[in-house]
Structure 1
Amino acid sequence: MTDTSLPADQAELPALTAGDALLQTGLLSDSDARKVAEHQAKTGLDFDRAAVELGLATPEDVAQARLQLQGSLALNLAPSADVTEELVVISDPAGVRAEAIRLLRTQVMSQHVAAGRRALAICGAVDGSGVTYVAANLAAALAQVGLKTLLVDANLRNPRIDGIFGIDPGGPGLTTYLALEASRPERVVYPEVLPNLSVIPAGPPVGRPQELLSGARFRLCVDILLREYDIVIFDTPASNESADALTIAGLVGYALIVARRDKAYINDIQSLSEQLGAARAIIIGSVLNEFE
Structure 2
Amino acid sequence: MSENPLDTQTFVDDGRAAVDAPMRDALQRLGLLTDDEVARVSAHQAERNLDFDQAALELGFIGPDELDRAREQLINSLALQSDYRRSVSDELVVLTDPLGAKAEAIRLLRTQIIAQHIKPGRRALAMIAPIEGAGCSFLTANLAAALSQVGMKTLIVDANMRSPRVDQIFGLDVGGPGLSSYLSLQAARPERVVNANVLPNLSVISAGPPVARPQELLSSTRFRDGMNMLLREYDIALFDTPPANSSADALTVAAAVGHSIIIARRDQTFVSDVATLSEQLKSARCAVVGAVLNEF
Q: Same fold (TM over 0.5)?
A: yes
1:101 corresponds in structure 2 to 106
CA deviation after TM superposition for structure 1 residue 81, in Å: 4.9
1:258 corresponds in structure 2 to 263
Identity %: 62
- Write out aligned runs for 1:1-292 (5 A): 81-291=86-296
* Structure index of larger Rg: 2
Q: d(CA) in 2 for partners of 1:185 and 1:127?
A: 28
Q: What is the DSSP-based 3-state SS (H/G/I as helix, E as strand, rest coil) of the residue aligned with 2:164?
A: coil
Q: d(CA) in 1 for partners of 2:106 and 2:260?
A: 17
Q: What is the DSSP-based 3-state SS (H/G/I as helix, E as strand, rest coil) of the residue aligned with 1:180?
A: coil
CA deviation after TM superposition for structure 1 residue 221, in Å: 1.2
Asked whether the equivalents of residues 135 and 234 of structure 1 are also in contact (C-alpha less than 8 Å), the reply is yes
Asked whether the equivalents of residues 129 and 259 of structure 1 are also in contact (C-alpha less than 8 Å), the reply is yes
Asked whether the equivalents of residues 81 and 194 of structure 1 are also in contact (C-alpha less than 8 Å), the reply is no
The unaligned stretches of length 5 or more in structure 2 are 1-84
Q: What is the DSSP-based 3-state SS (H/G/I as helix, E as strand, rest coil) of the residue aligned with 1:112?
A: helix
1:63-103: per-residue Cα shift (whole Å, max 9, x none)?
Answer: xxxxxxxxxxxxxxxxx751011000000000000000000
1:140-174: per-residue Cα shift (whole Å, max 9, x none)?
Answer: 00000000000000001110000001111121000
> Which amino acid in structure 2 is aligned with residue 215 of structure 1?
S
Q: TM-score, normalised by structure 2?
A: 0.71
CA deviation after TM superposition for structure 1 residue 235, in Å: 0.2
Asked whether the equivalents of residues 266 and 293 of structure 2 are also in contact (C-alpha less than 8 Å), the reply is yes
The unaligned stretches of length 5 or more in structure 1 are 1-79
Q: d(CA) in 1 for partners of 2:89 and 2:149?
A: 17
Q: What is the DSSP-based 3-state SS (H/G/I as helix, E as strand, rest coil) of the residue aligned with 2:119?
A: helix
> Which amino acid in structure 1 is aligned with residue 157 of structure 2?
V
Q: What is the DSSP-based 3-state SS (H/G/I as helix, E as strand, rest coil) of the residue aligned with 1:136?
A: helix
1:221-251: per-residue Cα shift (whole Å, max 9, x none)?
Answer: 1111111111000000000000111110111
Aligned Cα root-mean-square deviation (Å): 0.8
Q: What is the DSSP-based 3-state SS (H/G/I as helix, E as strand, rest coil) of the residue aligned with 1:175?
A: helix
Q: d(CA) in 2 for partners of 1:114 and 1:195?
A: 21
Q: What is the DSSP-based 3-state SS (H/G/I as helix, E as strand, rest coil) of the residue aligned with 1:272?
A: helix
Q: What is the DSSP-based 3-state SS (H/G/I as helix, E as strand, rest coil) of the residue aligned with 1:228?
A: coil
Q: d(CA) in 1 for partners of 2:182 and 2:115?
A: 33
Q: d(CA) in 1 for partners of 2:255 and 2:272?
A: 21
Q: d(CA) in 2 for partners of 1:183 and 1:247?
A: 22
Asked whether the equivalents of residues 175 and 207 of structure 2 are also in contact (C-alpha less than 8 Å), the reply is no
Q: d(CA) in 1 for partners of 2:249 and 2:88?
A: 26
Asked whether the equivalents of residues 88 and 97 of structure 1 are also in contact (C-alpha less than 8 Å), the reply is yes
> Which amino acid in structure 1 is aligned with residue 202 of structure 2?
L
Asked whether the equivalents of residues 215 and 248 of structure 2 are also in contact (C-alpha less than 8 Å), the reply is yes
> Which amino acid in structure 2 is aligned with residue 238 of structure 1?
P
> Which amino acid in structure 2 is aligned with residue 266 of structure 1?
V
